[in-house]
Structure 1
Amino acid sequence: MEIRSITILPGHGKHQQQDQVERIHLNMGDIVSIVGPTGSGKSTFINDIALFACQNTPSQRTILINGEFPSDEYTSDPSKNPIAFITQHTNFLSDLPVHKFLEFHAKIRKTGETSSLVQEVLAFANQLTGEPIIIEHSMTELSGGQTRALLIADAVIIGNSPIILLDEIENAGIDRTKALELLRQYHKIFIFVTHDPRIALLSDFRLVMKHGAVQQVIHTHDEERKAVHEIKKLDDLLLELRSIVRRGEQVTSRYIHERLLTHGYAVVPGGVA
Protein backbone atom coordinates (compact mmCIF):
# COMPACT_ATOMS: atom_id res chain seq x y z
CA MET A 1 0.00 0.00 0.00
CA GLU A 2 1.28 3.46 -0.87
CA ILE A 3 1.82 5.62 2.21
CA ARG A 4 0.43 9.12 1.73
CA SER A 5 0.09 10.44 5.27
CA ILE A 6 0.34 9.74 8.98
CA THR A 7 -2.01 11.17 11.59
CA ILE A 8 -1.46 11.33 15.35
CA LEU A 9 -4.65 11.56 17.40
CA PRO A 10 -4.23 13.22 20.80
CA GLY A 11 -3.52 11.52 24.09
CA HIS A 12 -2.23 12.84 27.38
CA GLY A 13 0.97 13.65 29.26
CA LYS A 14 2.50 12.44 32.50
CA HIS A 15 -0.13 13.98 34.76
CA GLN A 16 -3.11 13.23 32.53
CA GLN A 17 -3.02 16.69 30.93
CA GLN A 18 -4.32 16.46 27.36
CA ASP A 19 -2.35 17.13 24.18
CA GLN A 20 -3.28 20.66 23.18
CA VAL A 21 -3.61 19.86 19.47
CA GLU A 22 -6.70 18.13 18.11
CA ARG A 23 -4.74 16.04 15.62
CA ILE A 24 -1.38 16.20 13.87
CA HIS A 25 -1.46 15.35 10.18
CA LEU A 26 1.77 14.78 8.24
CA ASN A 27 1.96 14.37 4.47
CA MET A 28 4.72 12.88 2.36
CA GLY A 29 7.54 15.40 1.99
CA ASP A 30 7.03 16.96 5.44
CA ILE A 31 10.01 17.48 7.73
CA VAL A 32 8.98 17.86 11.37
CA SER A 33 10.89 18.43 14.61
CA ILE A 34 9.82 17.47 18.12
CA VAL A 35 11.30 19.88 20.67
CA GLY A 36 11.17 20.45 24.41
CA PRO A 37 13.38 20.10 27.49
CA THR A 38 14.80 16.77 28.64
CA GLY A 39 11.99 14.68 30.11
CA SER A 40 9.24 16.56 28.26
CA GLY A 41 7.96 13.48 26.40
CA LYS A 42 9.76 13.71 23.05
CA SER A 43 10.94 10.10 23.10
CA THR A 44 7.51 8.86 24.23
CA PHE A 45 5.90 10.69 21.31
CA ILE A 46 8.24 9.26 18.70
CA ASN A 47 7.93 5.77 20.25
CA ASP A 48 4.15 6.02 19.92
CA ILE A 49 4.64 6.52 16.18
CA ALA A 50 7.15 3.65 15.91
CA LEU A 51 4.75 1.30 17.76
CA PHE A 52 1.64 2.33 15.77
CA ALA A 53 0.02 3.21 19.10
CA CYS A 54 -3.72 2.56 19.34
CA GLN A 55 -4.58 3.82 22.83
CA ASN A 56 -2.41 0.96 24.10
CA THR A 57 0.58 3.01 25.30
CA PRO A 58 0.85 5.19 28.45
CA SER A 59 0.02 8.30 26.40
CA GLN A 60 -3.18 6.78 24.93
CA ARG A 61 -2.38 8.29 21.51
CA THR A 62 -3.57 6.74 18.27
CA ILE A 63 -1.61 6.54 15.01
CA LEU A 64 -3.37 6.39 11.66
CA ILE A 65 -1.82 5.63 8.27
CA ASN A 66 -3.62 7.20 5.32
CA GLY A 67 -6.41 8.10 7.75
CA GLU A 68 -6.98 4.48 8.79
CA PHE A 69 -5.82 2.13 11.53
CA PRO A 70 -2.52 0.51 10.45
CA SER A 71 -2.56 -2.97 9.01
CA ASP A 72 -1.42 -5.81 11.30
CA GLU A 73 1.19 -6.79 8.71
CA TYR A 74 3.17 -3.63 9.54
CA THR A 75 4.04 -5.09 12.93
CA SER A 76 4.07 -8.78 11.99
CA ASP A 77 6.20 -8.49 8.83
CA PRO A 78 9.31 -6.25 9.21
CA SER A 79 9.74 -6.04 5.43
CA LYS A 80 6.35 -4.29 5.18
CA ASN A 81 6.85 -1.89 8.08
CA PRO A 82 6.80 1.63 6.58
CA ILE A 83 8.73 3.16 9.49
CA ALA A 84 12.50 3.25 10.03
CA PHE A 85 13.59 4.39 13.50
CA ILE A 86 17.19 5.60 13.91
CA THR A 87 17.77 5.80 17.66
CA GLN A 88 20.57 7.37 19.70
CA HIS A 89 21.86 4.01 20.90
CA THR A 90 22.09 1.91 17.75
CA ASN A 91 24.80 -0.76 17.80
CA PHE A 92 25.62 -3.44 15.27
CA LEU A 93 25.80 -7.07 16.27
CA SER A 94 26.98 -8.09 12.81
CA ASP A 95 30.73 -8.12 12.21
CA LEU A 96 30.28 -8.11 8.44
CA PRO A 97 32.20 -5.64 6.30
CA VAL A 98 30.14 -2.55 5.49
CA HIS A 99 29.69 -3.45 1.81
CA LYS A 100 28.54 -7.01 2.64
CA PHE A 101 25.98 -5.71 5.13
CA LEU A 102 24.56 -3.31 2.55
CA GLU A 103 24.62 -5.93 -0.22
CA PHE A 104 22.66 -8.42 1.90
CA HIS A 105 20.09 -5.78 2.78
CA ALA A 106 19.70 -4.77 -0.87
CA LYS A 107 19.21 -8.40 -1.95
CA ILE A 108 16.61 -8.99 0.78
CA ARG A 109 14.74 -5.85 -0.20
CA LYS A 110 15.18 -6.55 -3.93
CA THR A 111 15.37 -2.82 -4.47
CA GLY A 112 17.64 -2.73 -7.49
CA GLU A 113 21.16 -3.39 -8.76
CA THR A 114 23.18 -4.15 -5.64
CA SER A 115 26.56 -2.55 -6.34
CA SER A 116 25.08 0.77 -7.46
CA LEU A 117 22.84 0.91 -4.37
CA VAL A 118 25.82 0.28 -2.09
CA GLN A 119 27.76 3.11 -3.72
CA GLU A 120 24.75 5.42 -3.48
CA VAL A 121 24.36 4.69 0.24
CA LEU A 122 28.06 5.30 0.91
CA ALA A 123 28.07 8.54 -1.10
CA PHE A 124 25.06 9.76 0.90
CA ALA A 125 26.51 8.71 4.29
CA ASN A 126 29.95 10.17 3.63
CA GLN A 127 28.45 13.61 3.04
CA LEU A 128 27.25 13.57 6.65
CA THR A 129 30.36 12.35 8.45
CA GLY A 130 33.68 14.03 9.18
CA GLU A 131 35.59 10.78 8.59
CA PRO A 132 34.71 8.74 5.45
CA ILE A 133 33.34 5.22 5.90
CA ILE A 134 35.68 2.54 4.53
CA ILE A 135 33.58 -0.19 2.92
CA GLU A 136 36.03 -2.95 3.88
CA HIS A 137 35.79 -2.08 7.60
CA SER A 138 33.49 -4.20 9.73
CA MET A 139 30.23 -2.70 10.95
CA THR A 140 31.40 -2.86 14.56
CA GLU A 141 34.42 -0.65 13.73
CA LEU A 142 32.29 2.33 12.79
CA SER A 143 32.08 5.35 15.08
CA GLY A 144 28.76 6.53 16.45
CA GLY A 145 28.49 9.25 13.82
CA GLN A 146 29.40 6.90 10.97
CA THR A 147 26.89 4.33 12.23
CA ARG A 148 24.08 6.88 12.37
CA ALA A 149 24.96 8.32 8.94
CA LEU A 150 25.07 4.85 7.36
CA LEU A 151 21.73 3.83 8.88
CA ILE A 152 20.04 7.03 7.68
CA ALA A 153 21.36 6.50 4.15
CA ASP A 154 20.41 2.81 4.24
CA ALA A 155 16.85 3.56 5.43
CA VAL A 156 16.36 6.21 2.75
CA ILE A 157 17.90 4.40 -0.22
CA ILE A 158 17.82 0.62 0.30
CA GLY A 159 15.03 0.33 2.87
CA ASN A 160 13.14 3.07 1.01
CA SER A 161 11.08 3.63 4.18
CA PRO A 162 8.38 6.27 3.63
CA ILE A 163 8.45 7.41 7.28
CA ILE A 164 11.81 7.92 9.02
CA LEU A 165 12.19 8.79 12.71
CA LEU A 166 15.51 10.29 13.83
CA ASP A 167 16.39 10.68 17.51
CA GLU A 168 18.88 13.49 18.28
CA ILE A 169 21.22 13.04 15.32
CA GLU A 170 23.07 16.19 16.41
CA ASN A 171 24.73 14.11 19.17
CA ALA A 172 26.52 11.98 16.58
CA GLY A 173 28.53 14.77 14.97
CA ILE A 174 26.53 14.61 11.75
CA ASP A 175 26.42 17.63 9.44
CA ARG A 176 22.85 18.65 10.23
CA THR A 177 22.37 21.23 7.48
CA LYS A 178 23.72 18.86 4.85
CA ALA A 179 21.52 16.07 6.19
CA LEU A 180 18.38 18.16 5.80
CA GLU A 181 19.43 19.31 2.32
CA LEU A 182 19.88 15.68 1.24
CA LEU A 183 16.71 14.41 2.91
CA ARG A 184 14.57 17.05 1.21
CA GLN A 185 15.46 15.43 -2.11
CA TYR A 186 13.42 12.37 -1.10
CA HIS A 187 9.63 12.45 -0.90
CA LYS A 188 9.27 11.00 2.59
CA ILE A 189 8.10 12.02 6.06
CA PHE A 190 11.04 12.81 8.35
CA ILE A 191 10.45 13.34 12.07
CA PHE A 192 13.34 14.59 14.20
CA VAL A 193 13.59 14.56 17.98
CA THR A 194 16.04 17.39 18.55
CA HIS A 195 17.52 20.01 20.86
CA ASP A 196 19.31 21.62 17.92
CA PRO A 197 17.96 25.04 16.81
CA ARG A 198 19.29 24.60 13.30
CA ILE A 199 17.36 21.37 12.73
CA ALA A 200 14.22 22.80 14.36
CA LEU A 201 14.23 25.97 12.27
CA LEU A 202 14.99 24.15 9.03
CA SER A 203 11.98 21.88 9.57
CA ASP A 204 8.57 22.73 8.11
CA PHE A 205 7.10 22.88 11.59
CA ARG A 206 7.83 21.76 15.12
CA LEU A 207 5.86 20.19 17.96
CA VAL A 208 6.58 21.66 21.38
CA MET A 209 6.39 19.15 24.26
CA LYS A 210 5.97 19.81 27.99
CA HIS A 211 5.28 17.33 30.82
CA GLY A 212 4.67 14.60 28.26
CA ALA A 213 1.98 16.43 26.28
CA VAL A 214 2.01 18.36 23.00
CA GLN A 215 1.66 22.06 23.86
CA GLN A 216 1.62 23.64 20.41
CA VAL A 217 2.56 23.33 16.76
CA ILE A 218 4.75 26.11 15.35
CA HIS A 219 5.12 26.49 11.59
CA THR A 220 8.53 27.84 10.60
CA HIS A 221 8.21 31.35 9.16
CA ASP A 222 10.54 33.32 6.88
CA GLU A 223 12.24 35.27 9.69
CA GLU A 224 13.17 32.03 11.44
CA ARG A 225 14.59 30.63 8.22
CA LYS A 226 16.74 33.76 7.89
CA ALA A 227 17.94 33.32 11.48
CA VAL A 228 19.30 29.88 10.56
CA HIS A 229 22.06 31.60 8.56
CA GLU A 230 23.28 33.43 11.68
CA ILE A 231 23.02 30.26 13.77
CA LYS A 232 25.11 28.43 11.18
CA LYS A 233 27.92 31.00 11.44
CA LEU A 234 28.10 30.62 15.22
CA ASP A 235 27.77 26.84 14.99
CA ASP A 236 30.54 26.64 12.39
CA LEU A 237 32.82 28.63 14.69
CA LEU A 238 32.19 26.16 17.51
CA LEU A 239 32.95 23.25 15.15
CA GLU A 240 36.15 25.00 14.09
CA LEU A 241 37.17 25.47 17.75
CA ARG A 242 36.42 21.82 18.44
CA SER A 243 38.76 20.79 15.63
CA ILE A 244 41.49 23.07 16.96
CA VAL A 245 41.24 21.52 20.41
CA ARG A 246 41.27 18.00 18.95
CA ARG A 247 44.48 18.79 17.08
CA GLY A 248 46.13 19.80 20.35
CA GLU A 249 46.34 23.48 19.43
CA GLN A 250 45.62 26.38 21.77
CA VAL A 251 42.65 28.73 21.63
CA THR A 252 42.93 32.42 22.48
CA SER A 253 40.29 35.10 22.96
CA ARG A 254 41.99 37.11 20.22
CA TYR A 255 41.47 34.26 17.75
CA ILE A 256 37.76 34.04 18.67
CA HIS A 257 37.36 37.81 18.30
CA GLU A 258 39.00 37.72 14.87
CA ARG A 259 36.78 34.88 13.69
CA LEU A 260 33.66 36.68 14.92
CA LEU A 261 34.73 39.81 13.08
CA THR A 262 35.24 37.72 9.95
CA HIS A 263 31.61 36.66 10.22
CA GLY A 264 30.46 40.25 10.62
CA TYR A 265 29.97 40.41 14.39
CA ALA A 266 31.25 43.41 16.34
CA VAL A 267 33.01 42.36 19.55
CA VAL A 268 32.27 44.77 22.41
CA PRO A 269 33.25 44.61 26.08
CA GLY A 270 31.13 41.99 27.78
CA GLY A 271 29.71 40.44 24.64
CA VAL A 272 29.09 40.37 20.91
CA ALA A 273 26.99 42.91 18.99
Structure 2
Amino acid sequence: MTRVALDLPLGTLIQGWPRIAAFLDGLGLTGLPPDRSVREWLADLPDARLHDMGLDREQLAAHLRHLTDSTAEVTSETIQTVTIHGGRGKSGDSDSADLVVRAGEIVCVVGPTGSGKSRLLADVECLAQGDTPSGRRILLNGAAPTAAQRFAPGCKLVAQISQNMNFVVDLTVGAFLATHARCRQVHRQDDVVERVVAVANTLAGERFGPDVSVTQLSGGQARALMIADAALLTASPIILIDEIENAGINRRQALDLLVAEDKIVLVSTHDPLLALLGHRRVIVRHGRVADVLATSDREKTVLQRLEGIDARIAGLRNRLRHGERVDDV
Protein backbone atom coordinates (compact mmCIF):
# COMPACT_ATOMS: atom_id res chain seq x y z
CA MET A 1 0.00 0.00 0.00
CA THR A 2 1.31 3.47 -0.78
CA ARG A 3 2.56 5.75 1.99
CA VAL A 4 -0.31 8.19 1.32
CA ALA A 5 -2.92 5.43 1.65
CA LEU A 6 -1.27 4.08 4.83
CA ASP A 7 -1.61 7.50 6.42
CA LEU A 8 -5.28 7.89 5.50
CA PRO A 9 -7.89 7.52 8.25
CA LEU A 10 -9.68 4.19 8.08
CA GLY A 11 -13.01 5.95 7.58
CA THR A 12 -11.70 7.76 4.51
CA LEU A 13 -10.22 4.56 3.06
CA ILE A 14 -13.45 2.59 3.53
CA GLN A 15 -15.60 5.34 2.02
CA GLY A 16 -13.25 5.98 -0.88
CA TRP A 17 -12.63 2.32 -1.83
CA PRO A 18 -15.85 0.23 -1.61
CA ARG A 19 -13.90 -2.89 -2.61
CA ILE A 20 -11.72 -2.50 0.47
CA ALA A 21 -14.82 -2.04 2.62
CA ALA A 22 -16.25 -5.30 1.24
CA PHE A 23 -12.90 -7.09 1.72
CA LEU A 24 -12.59 -6.04 5.38
CA ASP A 25 -16.24 -6.87 6.03
CA GLY A 26 -15.68 -10.35 4.61
CA LEU A 27 -12.85 -10.85 7.12
CA GLY A 28 -15.15 -9.85 9.96
CA LEU A 29 -13.31 -6.56 10.47
CA THR A 30 -16.27 -4.31 11.20
CA GLY A 31 -16.74 -1.36 13.52
CA LEU A 32 -13.24 -0.09 12.80
CA PRO A 33 -12.14 3.24 14.35
CA PRO A 34 -12.72 5.75 11.49
CA ASP A 35 -10.25 8.36 12.77
CA ARG A 36 -7.23 6.06 13.14
CA SER A 37 -4.76 5.80 10.26
CA VAL A 38 -4.37 2.51 8.41
CA ARG A 39 -0.75 2.33 9.58
CA GLU A 40 -1.69 2.64 13.26
CA TRP A 41 -4.55 0.17 12.94
CA LEU A 42 -2.35 -2.46 11.26
CA ALA A 43 0.36 -2.03 13.91
CA ASP A 44 -2.11 -2.54 16.77
CA LEU A 45 -4.11 -5.40 15.22
CA PRO A 46 -3.77 -8.38 17.63
CA ASP A 47 -1.70 -11.32 16.39
CA ALA A 48 -4.48 -13.69 17.43
CA ARG A 49 -6.95 -11.87 15.17
CA LEU A 50 -4.53 -12.05 12.26
CA HIS A 51 -4.03 -15.76 12.93
CA ASP A 52 -7.80 -16.33 12.80
CA MET A 53 -7.85 -14.66 9.38
CA GLY A 54 -4.90 -16.73 8.15
CA LEU A 55 -2.87 -13.60 7.38
CA ASP A 56 0.07 -11.74 8.77
CA ARG A 57 0.44 -7.95 8.81
CA GLU A 58 2.42 -7.83 5.55
CA GLN A 59 -0.06 -10.03 3.73
CA LEU A 60 -3.01 -7.93 4.86
CA ALA A 61 -1.21 -4.75 3.77
CA ALA A 62 -0.42 -6.41 0.41
CA HIS A 63 -4.10 -7.27 -0.14
CA LEU A 64 -5.11 -3.68 0.61
CA ARG A 65 -2.41 -2.40 -1.72
CA HIS A 66 -3.62 -4.67 -4.52
CA LEU A 67 -7.20 -3.46 -4.12
CA THR A 68 -6.24 0.23 -4.24
CA ASP A 69 -3.87 -0.26 -7.18
CA SER A 70 -6.26 -2.42 -9.23
CA THR A 71 -9.05 0.12 -8.72
CA ALA A 72 -6.79 2.86 -10.04
CA GLU A 73 -5.94 0.76 -13.10
CA VAL A 74 -9.58 0.06 -13.92
CA THR A 75 -10.77 3.64 -13.50
CA SER A 76 -7.97 4.94 -15.74
CA GLU A 77 -8.86 2.58 -18.61
CA THR A 78 -9.31 4.52 -21.87
CA ILE A 79 -10.37 2.67 -25.00
CA GLN A 80 -10.46 4.74 -28.18
CA THR A 81 -10.82 1.98 -30.79
CA VAL A 82 -12.05 -1.60 -31.05
CA THR A 83 -10.85 -3.67 -34.01
CA ILE A 84 -12.68 -6.83 -35.12
CA HIS A 85 -10.06 -8.83 -36.97
CA GLY A 86 -9.80 -12.02 -38.97
CA GLY A 87 -13.08 -13.91 -38.57
CA ARG A 88 -14.54 -16.70 -40.68
CA GLY A 89 -18.09 -17.77 -41.50
CA LYS A 90 -19.94 -21.06 -41.13
CA SER A 91 -18.52 -22.37 -44.42
CA GLY A 92 -14.98 -21.21 -43.61
CA ASP A 93 -15.04 -18.05 -45.74
CA SER A 94 -13.17 -15.13 -44.18
CA ASP A 95 -14.72 -11.83 -43.13
CA SER A 96 -14.62 -9.34 -46.00
CA ALA A 97 -12.59 -6.80 -43.99
CA ASP A 98 -11.37 -5.84 -40.56
CA LEU A 99 -13.65 -3.41 -38.76
CA VAL A 100 -12.38 -0.54 -36.60
CA VAL A 101 -14.97 1.15 -34.36
CA ARG A 102 -14.06 4.42 -32.63
CA ALA A 103 -15.29 6.07 -29.45
CA GLY A 104 -18.49 8.04 -30.09
CA GLU A 105 -19.40 5.90 -33.11
CA ILE A 106 -22.49 3.73 -33.64
CA VAL A 107 -22.09 0.63 -35.81
CA CYS A 108 -25.21 -1.41 -36.53
CA VAL A 109 -25.06 -5.14 -37.23
CA VAL A 110 -27.73 -6.36 -39.65
CA GLY A 111 -28.58 -9.65 -41.32
CA PRO A 112 -31.26 -12.37 -41.42
CA THR A 113 -32.16 -14.33 -38.31
CA GLY A 114 -29.45 -16.96 -37.76
CA SER A 115 -26.88 -15.12 -39.86
CA GLY A 116 -24.42 -14.70 -36.98
CA LYS A 117 -25.14 -11.23 -35.58
CA SER A 118 -25.21 -12.47 -31.98
CA ARG A 119 -21.98 -14.41 -32.55
CA LEU A 120 -20.29 -11.18 -33.63
CA LEU A 121 -21.49 -9.37 -30.51
CA ALA A 122 -20.45 -12.34 -28.35
CA ASP A 123 -16.94 -12.19 -29.82
CA VAL A 124 -16.68 -8.54 -28.82
CA GLU A 125 -18.17 -9.20 -25.38
CA CYS A 126 -15.52 -11.81 -24.49
CA LEU A 127 -12.75 -9.93 -26.32
CA ALA A 128 -12.13 -13.07 -28.35
CA GLN A 129 -8.57 -14.01 -29.26
CA GLY A 130 -9.14 -16.71 -31.87
CA ASP A 131 -10.75 -18.91 -29.21
CA THR A 132 -14.39 -18.76 -30.40
CA PRO A 133 -16.09 -20.60 -33.31
CA SER A 134 -15.60 -17.57 -35.59
CA GLY A 135 -11.84 -17.38 -34.96
CA ARG A 136 -12.07 -13.58 -34.61
CA ARG A 137 -9.58 -11.52 -32.64
CA ILE A 138 -10.64 -8.33 -30.88
CA LEU A 139 -8.02 -5.59 -30.48
CA LEU A 140 -8.24 -2.65 -28.09
CA ASN A 141 -6.45 0.50 -29.24
CA GLY A 142 -4.80 -1.68 -31.90
CA ALA A 143 -3.35 -4.24 -29.44
CA ALA A 144 -4.49 -7.53 -27.97
CA PRO A 145 -6.22 -7.14 -24.58
CA THR A 146 -4.38 -8.18 -21.45
CA ALA A 147 -5.52 -11.15 -19.38
CA ALA A 148 -6.86 -8.72 -16.77
CA GLN A 149 -8.89 -6.86 -19.41
CA ARG A 150 -10.44 -10.14 -20.55
CA PHE A 151 -11.00 -11.98 -17.31
CA ALA A 152 -10.73 -9.73 -14.21
CA PRO A 153 -14.21 -9.31 -12.64
CA GLY A 154 -13.47 -5.70 -11.73
CA CYS A 155 -12.28 -4.79 -15.23
CA LYS A 156 -15.40 -5.22 -17.36
CA LEU A 157 -14.78 -3.20 -20.51
CA VAL A 158 -17.95 -4.37 -22.26
CA ALA A 159 -21.57 -3.88 -21.17
CA GLN A 160 -24.42 -5.62 -22.99
CA ILE A 161 -28.11 -4.75 -23.12
CA SER A 162 -30.68 -7.05 -24.76
CA GLN A 163 -34.45 -7.17 -24.99
CA ASN A 164 -34.51 -10.41 -22.93
CA MET A 165 -32.70 -8.99 -19.89
CA ASN A 166 -34.57 -8.32 -16.65
CA PHE A 167 -33.66 -7.52 -13.06
CA VAL A 168 -33.87 -10.27 -10.44
CA VAL A 169 -32.28 -8.48 -7.46
CA ASP A 170 -34.75 -7.40 -4.76
CA LEU A 171 -33.81 -3.71 -4.56
CA THR A 172 -35.47 -0.42 -5.34
CA VAL A 173 -34.26 1.55 -8.35
CA GLY A 174 -32.59 4.07 -6.02
CA ALA A 175 -30.87 1.40 -3.92
CA PHE A 176 -29.63 -0.44 -7.03
CA LEU A 177 -28.16 2.73 -8.53
CA ALA A 178 -26.67 3.84 -5.20
CA THR A 179 -24.95 0.45 -4.83
CA HIS A 180 -23.55 0.76 -8.35
CA ALA A 181 -22.43 4.33 -7.65
CA ARG A 182 -20.57 3.19 -4.52
CA CYS A 183 -18.87 0.41 -6.48
CA ARG A 184 -17.83 2.95 -9.12
CA GLN A 185 -16.58 5.29 -6.37
CA VAL A 186 -18.38 8.26 -7.89
CA HIS A 187 -18.70 11.53 -6.01
CA ARG A 188 -22.06 13.13 -5.17
CA GLN A 189 -23.78 9.75 -5.41
CA ASP A 190 -27.27 11.09 -4.66
CA ASP A 191 -27.01 13.54 -7.56
CA VAL A 192 -25.84 10.79 -9.92
CA VAL A 193 -28.72 8.50 -8.91
CA GLU A 194 -31.21 11.31 -9.46
CA ARG A 195 -29.76 12.06 -12.90
CA VAL A 196 -29.80 8.41 -14.04
CA VAL A 197 -33.48 8.05 -13.03
CA ALA A 198 -34.36 11.33 -14.77
CA VAL A 199 -32.61 10.31 -18.00
CA ALA A 200 -34.17 6.83 -17.92
CA ASN A 201 -37.60 8.46 -17.69
CA THR A 202 -36.93 10.43 -20.86
CA LEU A 203 -36.38 7.11 -22.67
CA ALA A 204 -39.26 5.08 -21.20
CA GLY A 205 -42.94 5.45 -22.06
CA GLU A 206 -44.15 5.31 -18.45
CA ARG A 207 -42.32 7.24 -15.75
CA PHE A 208 -41.01 5.54 -12.59
CA GLY A 209 -39.38 6.77 -9.40
CA PRO A 210 -36.40 5.69 -7.29
CA ASP A 211 -38.64 3.93 -4.75
CA VAL A 212 -40.01 1.41 -7.27
CA SER A 213 -38.60 -2.13 -7.05
CA VAL A 214 -36.48 -3.01 -10.09
CA THR A 215 -38.39 -6.31 -10.38
CA GLN A 216 -41.61 -4.34 -10.92
CA LEU A 217 -40.29 -2.39 -13.91
CA SER A 218 -41.78 -3.16 -17.31
CA GLY A 219 -39.54 -4.39 -20.09
CA GLY A 220 -39.23 -0.91 -21.58
CA GLN A 221 -38.56 0.71 -18.21
CA ALA A 222 -35.90 -1.89 -17.37
CA ARG A 223 -34.16 -1.34 -20.70
CA ALA A 224 -34.35 2.44 -20.27
CA LEU A 225 -32.76 2.15 -16.83
CA MET A 226 -30.04 -0.15 -18.16
CA ILE A 227 -29.18 2.27 -20.97
CA ALA A 228 -29.11 5.32 -18.67
CA ASP A 229 -26.99 3.37 -16.18
CA ALA A 230 -24.62 2.21 -18.94
CA ALA A 231 -24.22 5.73 -20.28
CA LEU A 232 -23.90 7.70 -17.04
CA LEU A 233 -22.63 5.28 -14.41
CA THR A 234 -21.00 2.24 -16.00
CA ALA A 235 -17.29 2.65 -16.68
CA SER A 236 -17.39 0.16 -19.58
CA PRO A 237 -16.35 2.04 -22.74
CA ILE A 238 -17.93 -0.55 -25.08
CA ILE A 239 -21.71 -1.01 -25.21
CA LEU A 240 -23.41 -3.87 -27.08
CA ILE A 241 -27.15 -3.60 -27.76
CA ASP A 242 -29.00 -6.67 -29.03
CA GLU A 243 -32.37 -6.09 -30.70
CA ILE A 244 -34.02 -3.49 -28.46
CA GLU A 245 -36.46 -2.27 -31.14
CA ASN A 246 -39.43 -3.87 -29.34
CA ALA A 247 -38.44 -2.62 -25.88
CA GLY A 248 -40.74 0.42 -26.00
CA ILE A 249 -38.05 3.09 -25.58
CA ASN A 250 -36.99 6.17 -27.52
CA ARG A 251 -34.34 4.58 -29.74
CA ARG A 252 -32.72 7.71 -31.18
CA GLN A 253 -32.50 9.35 -27.78
CA ALA A 254 -30.95 6.19 -26.32
CA LEU A 255 -28.23 6.07 -28.98
CA ASP A 256 -27.61 9.83 -28.79
CA LEU A 257 -27.11 9.47 -25.05
CA LEU A 258 -24.48 6.74 -25.44
CA VAL A 259 -22.63 8.62 -28.17
CA ALA A 260 -22.63 11.82 -26.09
CA GLU A 261 -20.81 9.87 -23.37
CA ASP A 262 -18.16 8.80 -25.94
CA LYS A 263 -19.05 5.11 -25.83
CA ILE A 264 -18.20 2.62 -28.56
CA VAL A 265 -21.63 1.28 -29.55
CA LEU A 266 -22.51 -1.83 -31.57
CA VAL A 267 -26.21 -2.47 -32.20
CA SER A 268 -27.67 -5.70 -33.58
CA THR A 269 -31.03 -4.91 -35.15
CA HIS A 270 -33.73 -5.74 -37.71
CA ASP A 271 -35.19 -2.23 -37.45
CA PRO A 272 -34.51 -0.05 -40.53
CA LEU A 273 -34.71 3.13 -38.44
CA LEU A 274 -32.10 1.86 -35.98
CA ALA A 275 -29.92 0.53 -38.82
CA LEU A 276 -29.85 3.94 -40.51
CA LEU A 277 -29.18 5.74 -37.23
CA GLY A 278 -25.73 4.16 -37.18
CA HIS A 279 -22.70 5.76 -38.76
CA ARG A 280 -22.01 2.43 -40.48
CA ARG A 281 -23.67 -0.95 -40.71
CA VAL A 282 -22.12 -4.39 -40.85
CA ILE A 283 -23.89 -6.92 -43.05
CA VAL A 284 -23.56 -10.46 -41.70
CA ARG A 285 -24.29 -13.51 -43.88
CA HIS A 286 -23.64 -17.18 -43.08
CA GLY A 287 -21.63 -16.23 -39.99
CA ARG A 288 -19.19 -13.87 -41.73
CA VAL A 289 -18.93 -10.12 -42.20
CA ALA A 290 -20.02 -9.84 -45.84
CA ASP A 291 -19.82 -6.06 -46.17
CA VAL A 292 -19.50 -2.79 -44.25
CA LEU A 293 -21.50 0.20 -45.51
CA ALA A 294 -21.31 3.82 -44.40
CA THR A 295 -24.70 5.52 -44.12
CA SER A 296 -25.03 7.66 -47.25
CA ASP A 297 -26.53 11.15 -47.56
CA ARG A 298 -29.52 9.74 -49.42
CA GLU A 299 -30.07 7.21 -46.65
CA LYS A 300 -29.98 10.03 -44.11
CA THR A 301 -32.82 11.66 -46.06
CA VAL A 302 -34.71 8.37 -45.97
CA LEU A 303 -34.03 8.24 -42.22
CA GLN A 304 -35.76 11.59 -41.75
CA ARG A 305 -38.86 10.25 -43.53
CA LEU A 306 -38.76 7.07 -41.43
CA GLU A 307 -38.55 9.13 -38.25
CA GLY A 308 -41.63 11.07 -39.35
CA ILE A 309 -43.52 7.80 -39.88
CA ASP A 310 -42.24 6.47 -36.55
CA ALA A 311 -43.39 9.64 -34.76
CA ARG A 312 -46.89 9.25 -36.23
CA ILE A 313 -47.03 5.60 -35.12
CA ALA A 314 -45.82 6.62 -31.65
CA GLY A 315 -48.57 9.21 -31.50
CA LEU A 316 -51.19 6.60 -32.39
CA ARG A 317 -49.72 4.25 -29.81
CA ASN A 318 -50.02 6.89 -27.09
CA ARG A 319 -53.61 7.69 -28.06
CA LEU A 320 -54.53 4.01 -27.77
CA ARG A 321 -52.69 3.71 -24.46
CA HIS A 322 -54.72 6.59 -23.04
CA GLY A 323 -58.05 5.10 -24.13
CA GLU A 324 -58.68 7.38 -27.09
CA ARG A 325 -60.40 6.30 -30.28
CA VAL A 326 -58.46 6.34 -33.55
CA ASP A 327 -60.83 7.55 -36.27
CA ASP A 328 -58.11 8.76 -38.61
CA VAL A 329 -54.37 8.40 -39.19
Which has the larger Rg? Answer: 2
Summarize the alignment of residues 1-273 of structure 1 with structure 2, pairs less than 5 Å apart.
1-21=77-97, 23-252=98-327, 255-256=328-329
Post-superposition shift, 1:222? Answer: 1.6
- Looking at structure 1, the residues matched to 131 and 256 of structure 2 have their Cα atoms a distance apart, in angstroms, of 36
CA offset at residue 75 of structure 1?
Answer: 3.3
How far does residue 247 in structure 1 lie from its aligned partner after superposition? 4.3
Deviation at 1:112, TM superposition (A): 2.1
Unaligned runs of 5+ in 1: 257-273
Alignment TM-score, normalising by the size of structure 2? 0.73
Distance (whole Å) between structure 2 residues aligned to residue 71 and residue 229 of structure 1 = 42
Structure with higher helix content: 2
> How far apart, CA to CA, are the structure 2 residues paired with 1:183 and 1:61?
26
Aligned residues: 253
How far residue 176 of structure 1 moved from its aligned partner, in angstroms, is: 0.9
**Aligned mates of 2:233, 2:323 — CA distance in 1:** 40
Equivalent AA in structure 2 for residue 16 of structure 1: G
Is the 2:231–2:257 Cα contact (8 Å) retained in structure 1?
no
The residue type equivalent to 2:91 in the other structure is H
AA at the equivalent of 2:210: I
Contact 1:7 1:26 in 2 (8 A): yes
Partners of 1:184 and 1:81 in 2: how far apart? 19
- Give me the whole-angstrom Cα distance separating, in 1, the residues matched to 2:166 and 2:273: 26
The amino acid across from 1:2 in the alignment is: T
The superposition leaves residues 22-81 of structure 1 with CA deviations (integer Å, 9 ceiling, x where unpaired) of x11111111111011111111110011001111111111111111111111123323212
How far does residue 227 in structure 1 lie from its aligned partner after superposition?
1.4
| TM-score, scaled relative to structure 1 | 0.88
The answer (yes or no) to whether the contact 1:79–1:109 under 8 Å persists in 2 is no
Cα RMSD, aligned residues only: 1.5
Query: How many angstroms does 1:137 deviate by?
Result: 0.8
Post-superposition offset of 1:198: 1.5
Q: Percent identity?
A: 43
Letter of the 1:199 partner, please give it: L
Q: Which moved more, 1:173-182 or 1:106-115?
A: 173-182
CA distance in 1, matches of 2:184, 2:312: 42
The answer as to whether partners of 1:48 and 1:61 remain within 8 angstroms in 2 is yes
Contact 1:42 1:209 in 2 (8 A): yes
Q: State the 1:193 CA deviation.
A: 0.7
Secondary structure class of the residue paired with 1:69: coil
Structure 1 stretch 223-232 or stretch 75-84: which is displaced more? Answer: 75-84
